Amino acid sequence: METLIYDYIVVGSGIAGLTAARVLSDYGRTCVLTKSILKEGATHYAQGGIAVAMQPDDSPQFHLNDTLLAGDGLCNEYAVRILVEEGPKWVRELIELGAQFDKVGDHFHFTQEAAHHKRRILHAGDATGREIEKTLGNTILREDKVQFFPQTSLTQLLINEGHCVGCIAQHKGKPVRFIGKAVVLSTGGCGQIFSHNTNPPVATGDGIALAYQAGCAVQDMEFTQFHPTTLYLGDPHPASLFLISEAVRGEGAILRNCHGDRFMTDYHAEAELAPRDVVARAIFDQMNKTQTPHVYLDLEKVKQNPTERFPTIYKRCKEANIDITRDFIPVAPAAHYFMGGIQTDTWGLTTIPALYAIGEVACLGLHGANRLASNSLLDGLVFGHRAARHASEHQTHLAVPPRPLLASFEQGLADSERARVLASKQSIRELMWAHVGILRHQEGLLCAQKGLKELEWLTHSHSENETLLEVKNMWQVATLMTEFALTRTESRGSHLRSDFPIRDDLYWKRHLSKTKESTDGL
């Protein structure tokens, strides 16, 4: 097997990974491995914006208060303070690097999103992630200090005497051993384990599954955020599940049920701008009550011209014959963001020395039980910087481990086995949506657990086939998520149990975590 030696290995190319790679490249030879092409990650599709307290009437303390409130009692306040206090500095740097955020005259335009009590969302139209990724990507390419490996899937983390010393990845179908002083995982989330999700196809939970297999602790695996509004065009329809940004409601859009009635005022004092979990749940409730697979978003009260303010959404809806300047948009919730993940400290360090995790793959309790809208880009930026700083200062030793045993590298999968793997993938996605989705209860969770157990055969195969490896990762994450969701017998944030509908601070104001060998609270 080919071996490549770098100082720092970053896996994933969203905002967190690109930020870390750029900083690390000042300290040593740095590479970025990315499963698809450079831009194919959740950052690219982030519409709403980046939350940052930069307005004169705002402050990090206000931003902290909103984040804690949305997190429903489970945020790590120390981590939130770091986020809101360090965020403005790194956003200013992004602007200096050339990121073009919307302005009104000479001033930046800050949009409104749910559960923010100030207008603090800096945005580039409705394609903010794309602008940030372009800025960081162009800067890194111009500086020419980072080597990129596209089409490169992580398959194993290399741990030697308790330390992470590198990883194995399949680069264009061949295994390559990457050795480095530190590995930084920024592989994103796992929305693809749900049949209804807003995530790109690469979001299959690989980083979480492989870190867990390597011995890392995972935390808060029961908390998946469901975005209230994705385009609904019938199941299955290729344009369904396209995100209709929360900023649309922030700018005045109203939710209506199939009878045309506004309903959010019945659920929360802040109506359409209630925290995301509340809105998703209210929509779900209305869909059940009216036996309709969607509700509607009405943009009549949006003051700005929707074609100018939301050009991407306008275009995608137009392609589906919906004119957002006139028509209601049919919308339904879908899995969107994962608050759980690989347990880290506030430097991104996991429970395995020299292994870091940042962005959506990581869990430091920052988002608690429900992430505040548009805090995720800021998370990637701030903790990308911190992980890079820590790794550059503390990971100074390169240990080349003995060659791994790889007796045979079998990429192929017989047609019949491939069909079985793909059918299993579909089963995982359907089980998770049906039983570990917006509304959970013991009976359904046990049903998901039983269904997943029947698919355990996936883990017995030793083929290195990429499709199989990906589905194994999905199975691993789905299994952990179901176990955590069964354990938390209360409702909090995005975790709603119809059999335990009350938030129970006395017993459950705590995080659950687990390694392969031990559990904490499970």
In three-state secondary structure terms, 419 is helix
477 vs 108, 343, 451, CA distance in Å? Answer: 40, 14, 14
The one-letter amino acid code at 265 reads: T
Per CB under 6 A, 47 contacts ligand SIN? yes
Contact pick of 255, 373, 378, 428 for ligand SIN (by CB under 6 A)? 373
- 8 Å CB contact between 424 and 458: yes
Binding range to ligand SIN, per CB under 6 A, among 90-98, 208-216, 241-249, 471-479: 241-249
Per CB under 6 A, 111 contacts ligand SIN? no
User: For residues 132 and 373, which CB has a smaller minimum distance to ligand SIN in the complex?
Assistant: 373
Binding range to ligand SIN, per CB under 6 A, among 58-66, 80-88, 245-253, 286-294: 245-253
Q: What minimum distance in Å lies between the beta carbon of 22 and ligand SIN?
A: 23
The one-letter amino acid code at 332 reads: A
User: For residues 136 and 335, which CB has a smaller minimum distance to ligand SIN in the complex?
Assistant: 335
Per CB under 6 A, 246 contacts ligand SIN? yes
Asked if omega into 236 is within 30° of 0 (cis), the reply is yes
Could you give the strand order of the β-sheet that contains 121-122, starting from the edge strand earlier in sequence? 50-51, 121-122, 110-111
How many Cα neighbours within 13 Å face the side chain of 32?
Answer: 30
Per CB under 6 A, 48 contacts ligand SIN? yes
Per CB under 6 A, 121 contacts ligand SIN? no
Q: What minimum distance in Å lies between the beta carbon of 90 and ligand SIN?
A: 17
Structure-token match 């905002």, residue found: 15
CA distance 240 to 320: 10
The whole-angstrom distance between residue 439's C-alpha and the CA centroid of its chain comes to: 20
Q: Which of positions 309-348 make contact with ligand SIN (CB under 6 A)? A: 337
User: For residues 350 and 494, which CB has a smaller minimum distance to ligand SIN in the complex?
Assistant: 494
Q: What minimum distance in Å lies between the beta carbon of 198 and ligand SIN?
A: 8
Q: What minimum distance in Å lies between the beta carbon of 16 and ligand SIN?
A: 14
Beta strands in 329-465 (DSSP E): 329-338, 341-343, 355-357, 362-363
Q: How many CB atoms lie within 10 A of CB 501?
A: 10
User: For residues 228 and 365, which CB has a smaller minimum distance to ligand SIN in the complex?
Assistant: 228
Per CB under 6 A, 513 contacts ligand SIN? no
Binding range to ligand SIN, per CB under 6 A, among 78-86, 243-251, 416-424, 433-441: 243-251
User: For residues 178 and 337, which CB has a smaller minimum distance to ligand SIN in the complex?
Assistant: 337
CA distance 328 to 426: 31
Could you tell me the end-to-end alpha-carbon distance of the chain, in angstroms, rounded to an integer? Answer: 40
User: For residues 51 and 455, which CB has a smaller minimum distance to ligand SIN in the complex?
Assistant: 51
Quote the radius of gyration of the chain (alpha carbons, Å). 22
Structure-token match 């994705």, residue found: 230
Could you give the strand order of the β-sheet that contains 30-33, starting from the edge strand earlier in sequence? 146-149, 30-33, 8-11, 182-185, 355-357
Binding range to ligand SIN, per CB under 6 A, among 5-13, 305-313, 348-356, 369-377: 369-377
User: For residues 275 and 451, which CB has a smaller minimum distance to ligand SIN in the complex?
Assistant: 275
DSSP assignment of 143-187: HT-EEEE-SEEEEEEEEETTEEEEEEEEETTEEEEEE-SEEEE--
Per CB under 6 A, 247 contacts ligand SIN? yes
Per CB under 6 A, 197 contacts ligand SIN? no
Q: What minimum distance in Å lies between the beta carbon of 247 and ligand SIN?
A: 6
Q: What minimum distance in Å lies between the beta carbon of 113 and ligand SIN?
A: 7
Active-site position among 22, 120, 177, 276 = 276
Contact pick of 112, 186, 199, 245 for ligand SIN (by CB under 6 A)? 245
Binding range to ligand SIN, per CB under 6 A, among 42-50, 63-71, 179-187, 470-478: 42-50
The residue at minimum Cβ distance from ligand SIN is 48
Total of chain residues touching ligand SIN, rule CB under 6 A:
10
Structure-token match 């020419």, residue found: 144
User: For residues 472 and 495, which CB has a smaller minimum distance to ligand SIN in the complex?
Assistant: 495
276 is catalytic: yes
Per CB under 6 A, 374 contacts ligand SIN? yes
The tokens describing 317, both together, are: 């809806």
User: For residues 247 and 388, which CB has a smaller minimum distance to ligand SIN in the complex?
Assistant: 247
CA distance 167 to 185: 11
H or E element that contains 31 = strand 30-33
Per CB under 6 A, 376 contacts ligand SIN? yes
In three-state secondary structure terms, 381 is helix
Interface residues with ligand SIN (CB under 6 A) are 46-48, 245-247, 337, 373-374, 376
Residues serving a catalytic function are 276
